Structure 1
Amino acid sequence: MEVIPSQVCQVCGVEGAHGNHFGAVSCRACAAFFRIPDFQYNRDGLASLVSSNRTPAIPTTFESFVGRPEMILFWDSEKPTFKTLIDVKFLVEEATKIFNQPSQSVYKSDSCLQRLSIGIKESRNEFESINKITQEVVSETWQYYFLTVARWLMHFDEFQKLGEDIKLKILESAWHIWATLDRHSATATYRRNNPEAPKTQIISRRGVLVDLKTAHFDSTWLSDYPSWQISYFLRQSSGDHFDIIGALIELQPTDMEMTFMLAQLSFEYAGKRCQGEIQKVTEHFQNVLANDLHKYYVEELKMVKYFDRLAKLMKINNAIQKNLWEHRPRMEVAKMFNIIKIEFSHPEMFKDSGFN
């Protein structure tokens, strides 16, 4: 006969636990106590119901007493929640129109990377400074980047050959991670041109300057909790372990290098997320652009030994992806406890964006 060792009650320490009750391995006495409506801290009377030579230990903290964190114990899963639906169907329709427009070749070039670089040569010397980040500001940023990336992708001949469904899936997957690198790049350029500017100033999108120290974030549309409490759950713009903006300032990528970084980051992320046919397509895209980058280094820059520089550029991309993956558990917690009170008509479009 197999001898099953007796367990110890996680609440009072008595041997001979009855089983798992309310998330804690406990004896019958403590399990019964969990159901008593009149809460009391001292449970000696109940503990004495179990014969033991061991003196029961009174827990010193509430968490050790109940066997679970206080936050989870008092979370009311039945509490009614009201979420705001954000309809972004019009953005998908606008992107579809962009995909259906006849392609316009600005100039002839054998390099796909060269043609893609046309789409990022938008520069502004003047910046609009905003002091309050509202739902309207955030929505305008979403719209700006979603449609900007759609137009940018259409400079890539290989992308134009795809079916509409695959085009949309790649766009819906990659637009926000493209936006992350673009914001970092724009902020790096701004700080390089304005060395005295405080590091709290960032470019939220091309032409829009925000000082994170002084700007007020109106989060009432996003959550019932104050902005300082929900900031932990929103994906941050910088990596926690690597100074992305500092690395960009030091390396000063050329337009061709930045184009490759944007494409590699977007296509690798979209491929990992979508898998299957789309991953095969995006891997092909990366190979095509990698060959073009090699020619650019060797033929135009006369840089035969470029591996070290390319490794530093890819370290930036890897840091952005790492920051994105590490953020996922935070957003899952925010969803579980209804911290974020918005939902989207196209939820896949905002996965890993910091809002869904």
Structure 2
Amino acid sequence: MHLPPEIPCQVCETPAHGNHFGAMTCRACSAFFRRAIIDKSEDGFSCLRGNGKCQVKNLGKFYCKKCRLKKCYQMGMDPKNIQHNRDKIKTPPTLLPQTISTLVGRPSYIIHCSPLSHTSKKSIVDVTYLIDKASECLDYGPQLLNNEMKILERMYMANEFLEAFEASEFSNFSKNLTQIPVIDKQFFMHFWEVDFLKTAKWLSYLDGFQNIPRVVQIQILMTTWHLRARLDRLCRTAKLRRKMKIGENDFMIGSNSCLDLKTCKLDVSWCTDYPNEQIQFFIEGSDDWVHNEVVDQLEDLNPSDIEISFMTCQFYIIKIKKYLIIQRE
């Protein structure tokens, strides 16, 4: 059943797509409700404001999952209306392959349908060249280290150098804020390289990191580069939103690049046979990929640059300590 676009979703007020579990809602709110019930993730929800009265912020976005679920119930959505065991998975759950989705405990990311193309074609993206580039970057910090500086001051200075590094190494760097219209292969390849190499340079400033064998340095880099990059984007977005230099829909991707969460398009045709519409359905209405909840919290917290450096360092210090413990054993 499809509804005319003027009928709003009873939960988030964006155009509704039909009756889902007892209420007229959009597909995003329907998927959110189903995930919360089936995955039992509602048990871990907590109100961001602490008063249980969070409202839709803008463009149908609920940044508080607990209050969003509360409104689902208020509008009449009933867990009894969910059809269990209807997903088209022939393999028993115990035999599911260790995919990213099952590994990180997010089975809702698995698309339970066949792509239009039934070929065995696989998309392989070769990024091994980044390892050689990163190895050179790991020697960057010691050339500029000042042993008299405290660790947080040094890591703050590392962030300053990274801005200059991005401007000098990547020709499309601009001082003016650039809006990214499409998230496509060029987008991913460019920002993977930027984030990977910036993290390698940042790690070269970290105390004790140079004492670790190069092969282990690379392993740490490969498993953590996206985390440093994500924290950097979250903090950068929160800071600029707080200063009202970007809008509520803008999310910072690079030093001077952002995307509009409302208008930016997704193109995954280069790496999957699934239509863009199906992929978009599974991220529609979800803030997981940009973590708007965290951006809101960082806006309220308003950490200084030194405090942000501390937050980032803590993660890597734990990683290095684990490595040293394993070596002693």
On whether the aligned pair clears a TM of 0.5, the verdict is yes
The CA deviation at 1:126 is: 2.9
| Percent identity between the two aligned chains | 25
Contact in 2 for aligned 1:131/1:210 (Cα 8 Å)? yes
The CA deviation at 1:75 is: 6.4
Runs of 5+ in structure 1 lacking a partner?
1-62, 283-356
The CA deviation at 1:135 is: 0.4
Q: Which residue of 2 aligns with 1:216?
A: 265
The CA deviation at 1:225 is: 1.9
Q: Which residue of 2 aligns with 1:200?
A: 249
Q: Distance in 2 between matches of 1:206 and 1:281?
A: 37
Superposed counterparts of 1:60-209, under 5 Å = 68-69=85-86, 71-72=88-89, 79-100=118-139, 103-105=142-144, 107-121=146-160, 126-194=176-244, 197-209=246-258
Contact in 1 for aligned 2:251/2:290 (Cα 8 Å)? no
Q: TM-score, normalised by structure 1?
A: 0.51
Contact in 2 for aligned 1:178/1:266 (Cα 8 Å)? no
Q: Distance in 1 between matches of 2:287 and 2:133?
A: 27
Name the amino acid aligned to 1:127.
L
The CA deviation at 1:267 is: 4.7
Name the amino acid aligned to 2:86.
P
The secondary structure found in structure 2 opposite 1:258 is helix
Whether 2:314 is the aligned partner of 1:264: answer yes
- Which of the pair has the greater relative contact order for Cα pairs under 8 Å at 6+ separation? 1
Q: Distance in 2 between matches of 1:149 and 1:281?
A: 24
Contact in 1 for aligned 2:145/2:205 (Cα 8 Å)? no
Aligned pair in 2 of structure 1 residues 192, 125: CA closer, same or farther (>3 Å)?
A: farther
Q: Distance in 1 between matches of 2:299 and 2:154?
A: 25
Q: Which residue of 2 aligns with 1:278?
A: 323
Q: Distance in 1 between matches of 2:267 and 2:304?
A: 36
The CA deviation at 1:254 is: 1.4
User: RMSD between aligned alpha carbons?
Assistant: 3.3
Name the amino acid aligned to 1:263.
C
Superposed counterparts of 1:33-72, under 5 Å = 68-69=85-86, 71-72=88-89
Q: Distance in 1 between matches of 2:324 and 2:262?
A: 40
Runs of 5+ in structure 2 lacking a partner?
1-82, 91-111, 164-173
The CA deviation at 1:172 is: 0.7
Contact in 2 for aligned 1:177/1:265 (Cα 8 Å)? no
Name the amino acid aligned to 1:180.
R
Aligned pair in 2 of structure 1 residues 99, 258: CA closer, same or farther (>3 Å)?
A: same
Q: Which residue of 2 aligns with 1:237?
A: 289
Q: TM-score, normalised by structure 2?
A: 0.55
The secondary structure found in structure 1 opposite 2:253 is strand
Give CA deviations for 1:241-260 in whole Å, capped at 9, x if unaligned.
x8211121122211211111
The secondary structure found in structure 2 opposite 1:169 is helix
Name the amino acid aligned to 2:242.
R
Give CA deviations for 1:120-176 in whole Å, capped at 9, x if unaligned.
135696311121121011111110010000001111231111110111111111100
Name the amino acid aligned to 2:249.
T
Aligned pair in 2 of structure 1 residues 254, 265: CA closer, same or farther (>3 Å)?
A: same
Q: Distance in 2 between matches of 1:128 and 1:76?
A: 37
Name the amino acid aligned to 1:144.
V
